[in-house]
A and B are shown apart, each in its own frame.
Chain A
Amino acid sequence: MIASAAAVLAALLGGAALTLAVERLVARRGLEAGPARAVGLGRGLDLPNADRWLLPAGPAVALGGVALAVVVIPFGPGLIGRDLGVGLFYVIVVVDFVVLGLALAGWGANTPEAVEACYRIVAQLVAYVVPLGLAYVGVVMMAGSLSTVAVVAAQRDLWFVVLQPMGFLLYLVTGLMQSYRAPFLEPFADSIGGGVLGAAGGWSALLWRVALAGVLFVVAAVGAVLYLGGPSGPWLPGWAWMLAKTYALMALMLGLGRCVRPFSTAGMLALSWKALIPAGLVNVLLVGGLILLGVGPRA
């Protein structure tokens, strides 16, 4: 048990480190913004009005959520922390702890910028959570299971990105929202001093760095499992395929995000209700039609 926990933690740390490298690569040097912004690891905190419980609890809660999410991600045949029967639902739930941690730290820091960031983060949660669920639903319908291993097995012949391109696009957008990357970095915008990160320093800044890189890693890895067949592939071992797909997807997401102007929080909500949720519903309808036509893994 302890060994598998250590393995999961090592996977998370390795993934987060590689994620930082990818972000540096995509963002060009010195131009990081949002969650990847430079934070003062050596800086002390001067927040006399901070809540002494909530502020330190924030990064711990967020990192705990990300670490729990890594448990169900399959890195190869047998290379999975635990194959839960409700795996994908579990991922959705557990990644929410990042939002909770950000809200705790934002409120706990008790500076105007951080409290503002707290509200923006919760509003962003409202914006992405429904379309994200709809992006999962298409895959779950086709695979007929919530287990990540079963989803990978269902894509043995054909990746779901071919069958559900609309769901894939939806996942790209909502994944960027969920990981607070380029067009959706309003909670970490420069105009509010980096939000929660502006109130972090020392070990809490380090934990935030790992947690925010980890959430992008988890989003990309789950995207690879959902739409790109996960660790399956010829010649190479499973973990190599999984890492390659994860980081390719991550680079694609970050690169696409760089091409779009940043959205305001209100813009994100409008995008969610006016474009993403209808698109998700249409995607669910299309997938249902495909299943009725006999296309997909069950055929």
Chain B
Amino acid sequence: MTAAFELTAFATCAFVAVAGALGMTTTMSMFRSGIFLMASFIGVAGLFILLSADLIGLLQVMMYIGGFLVMILFMVLVMHDPGGAMMAGMDLAPLERWSSLGLVPRRPAEAGPDGHRQGEAGDRTAATGHGEGHSGTHPPRPGGEARGDHAEAHDGAAKAMPHEAQGGHGERAAHPHGQAAHGHDHAPGGGHGGMDMGGMDMSMVTPVRPVAAWLALGVGAVLVGMLVLRPAWPVMPDAVPDADSARRVGHLLMEKYMVAFEGAGFLILIGIFGALLLARPSTYPDDASRAAKVAVDAEPEPIRNDRLAPRATLNGVAEPAPDHGAHRRHGGHIG
């Protein structure tokens, strides 16, 4: 591993890790937050591999792709993630605008399962305007153009919602924003963090966001300052770890740290039971909007024209092979 390669790899992984975490906390779509967080984890996994702890790096990727995707998806399913739909009328800090770039509000017709948004006439108007402005355009678009579209969405939203302070927009747009200080920009208009839209609070952040940003900036600055000012660790960088670290870790897990390993396994078992116990179907009425199209097909349709015998239905009558041509709405296939 040459020095230049190592530097490049470190810079890339560190950037992905930090930018992913920043994007996670600033984007307005919960699904995107999960994806950004996953990018951050993959960046950290790259750093692990650079530190020649490849087993832990791979373990991290597997844990978080496999487990995390499932959890995020199902939480989003349960809680009606706005999926960017609520972006229509929000004022965003620059970093948020950047990480939420390209989110398109859903059209009202498709906003059906989104229980949050049913009643908000103003928001729906904004969504309509934005949606129509986009019909006919195609997803991949240059960043600058998309940014312009966002400004457009802001205007539309501001018109649709007269109770939104118009002056705030102009002033905000005129501000030269530093990336790190985005929380501070919100300080004068603390109410914006919890913008009220027809009684429904659409924001994802609490009103104490400026405080949190300053706190995080302070903690980060103190930590980095301490690290930079006291760099004298007893390092031994020339000692090269065993290339087959998986074997060493396995032996340690099975011998020296056996109890800890089994304890972690027991913890996982208890965790599974606990999670199942907590999340089992309960007496609380479920939301009607959860009854979306998620039910799996009871009897999946067979492959077209396969030669398996037709399945007997409940009446004992063989059903005719269904015509699948009707389902293939997106025709136009090549061979």
Contacts and interface: CB of A to CB of B under 8 A. Distances in A.
Contact, chains A and B (beta carbon distance below 8 A)? yes
Interface of A: 31, 33-34, 37-56, 84-86, 89-90, 92-93, 96-97, 99-100, 103-104, 107-108, 110, 112, 116, 118-120, 122-123, 125-126, 129, 146, 182, 185-186, 189-191, 193-194, 198, 258-259, 261-267
Contacts of A47: 138-139
A265 B295 CA distance: 9
Contact of B304 (A31, A53, A118): A31
Given A56-B139, A99-B65, A125-B70, A50 B104 contact: yes
Given A85-B246, A96-B65, 11 more contacts: A39-B333, A48-B135, A51-B103, A52-B102, A53-B101, A55-B139, A56-B139, A86-B55, A104-B35, A112-B293, A118-B73
B278 interface: no
B129 to A, nearest CB: 13
Interface of B: 29, 31-32, 35, 38, 54-55, 58, 61-62, 65-66, 69-70, 73, 77, 83-84, 101-104, 106-107, 110, 131, 134-141, 146, 243-247, 293-294, 296-306, 308, 311, 324, 327-335
Given A85-B245, A110-B83, A52 B139 contact: yes
Contacts of B103: 51-52
Given A85-B245, A92-B62, A263-B300, A49 B131 contact: yes
B334 to A, nearest CB: 6
Contacts of A52: 101-104, 139-141, 146
Nearest to B134: A48
B334 A120 contact: no
Contacts of B66: 96, 99, 125, 129
A28 B140 CA distance: 36
B327 A264 contact: no
Contact of B106 (A45, A49, A54, A126): A49
Nearest to A90: B58
A193 B293 CA distance: 14
Contacts of A118: 73
A258 B301 contact: no
B69 A31 contact: no
Most B C-beta atoms less than 10 A away, residue of A31, A100, A120: A100
Contacts of A107: 31, 83
